Amino acid sequence: MFDYIIVGSGFVGSIIAERIASHLHKKVLIIEKRNHIGGNAYDFYNEEGILVHKYGPHVFHTRSKEVWEYLSHFTDWNIYQHETLGFIDGRFVPIPFNIHSLHQLFPQFLALRLEEKLIDQFGYNNKVPILKLKEIEDEDLQYLANYIYEKVFLNYTIKQWGVKPEELDPTVTGRVPVFVSKDNRYFQDPYQGTPKYGYTKMFENMLDHENIKLLLNTDYKDIVSVNHGNGEMKVFNQSFNGKVIYTGPIDYFFDYKHGKLPYRSLQFIFETHPMEKFQNTGQVNYPNDYEFTRITEFKHLTGQKHSKTTIAKEISLNYDAAKNEPYYPVKNNETQEQLKLYKKEAEKLHHIIFAGRLAEYQYYNMDAVVARALKVFNEKILK
Ligand code: FAD
Ligand code: UDP
Asked whether residue 383 carries a pLDDT value surpassing 90, the answer given is: no
In angstroms, the CA 36 to CA 58 distance is 17
Question: Which atom of ligand 2 is found nearest the CA of 154?
Answer: 7
Sorting pLDDT into bands at 50, 70 and 90, what band is 1? confident
Q: Are strands 238-239 and 233-235 parallel, antiparallel or unpaired?
A: antiparallel
Q: Are residues 107 and 243 in the same domain?
A: no
Instruction: Clarify whether residues 63 and 97 are in a common domain.
Output: no
Q: Is 153 in the pocket of ligand 2 (CB under 6 A)?
A: yes
Tens of pLDDT along 261-306? 999 999 999 999 999 999 999 999 999 999 999 999 999 999 999 9
Angle at CA of residue 255, ends 251 and 258, nearest 5°: 60
- Ligand 2: which residue has its CA nearest to atom 23? 57
- Residue 187 pLDDT: 98
Shared domain check, 90 and 59: no
45-85: pLDDT as tens digits: 999 999 999 999 999 999 999 999 999 999 999 999 999 99
Task: Give the distance (Å) from ligand 2 centre to CA of residue 161.
Answer: 10
Contact 317, 185 (CB under 8 A): no
Same domain, 340 and 231: yes
Instruction: Mark which of 271, 290, 318 sits at the end of a domain.
Output: 318
Distance CA 169, CA 3 (A): 39
Residues 245 and 281 in one domain: no
Kindly state whether residue 323 falls inside one of the protein's structural domains: no
Does one domain contain both 346 and 360? yes
The CATH number of whichever domain residue 345 belongs to comes to 3.40.50.720
221, 369: one domain: yes
pLDDT at res. 194: 98
**Which range marks the domain in which residue 306 is found?**
263-318
- 176 and 35 in a single domain? The answer is no
Strand partners, 263: 329
Note the pLDDT tens digit of each residue in 342-365. Answer: 999 999 999 999 999 999 999 999
Do 251 and 332 belong to one domain? yes
Pocket-testing residue among 366, 367, 374, ligand 1, by greatest number of atoms within 8 A of Cβ: 366
Q: What are phi and psi of 111, to 5 degrees?
A: -60, -40
pLDDT band at 372 (very low <50, low <70, confident <90, very high): very high
Looking at the structure, do residues 344 and 246 belong to the same domain, yes or no? yes
Within-domain flag for 133:
yes
Tell which atom from ligand 2 comes closest to the C-alpha of 153: 7
Say how many Å lie between the CA of residue 39 and the centre of ligand 1: 5
Contact 53, 298 (CB under 8 A): yes
Write a three-state SS string for the chain.
CCCEEEECCCHHHHHHHHHHHHCCCCCEEEECCCCCCCHHHCEEECCCCCEEECCCCCCEEECCHHHHHHHCCCCCEEECCCEEEEEECCEEEEECCEHHHHHHHCCHHHHHHHHHHHHHHHCCCEEECHHHHCCCCCHHHHHHHHHHHHHHHHHHHHHHHCCCHHHCCHHHHCCCCEEECCCCECCCCCEEEEECCCHHHHHHHHHCCCCEEEECCCCHHHCEEECCCCCCEEECCEECCCEEEECCCHHHHCCCCCCCCCEEEEEEEEEEECCCCCCCCCEEECCCCCCCCEEEEHHHHHCCCCCCEEEEEEEEEECCCCCCCCCEECCCHHHHHHHHHHHHHHHHCCCEEECCCCCCCCCCCHHHHHHHHHHHHHHHHCC
Q: Are residues 253 and 344 in the same domain?
A: yes
Provide the domain count of the chain: 3
* pLDDT tens digits for range 153-198: 999 999 999 999 999 999 999 999 999 999 999 999 999 999 999 9
Query: Is the CB of residue 86 below 6 angstroms from any atom belonging to ligand 2?
Result: yes
Establish if 100 belongs to a structural domain. Answer: yes
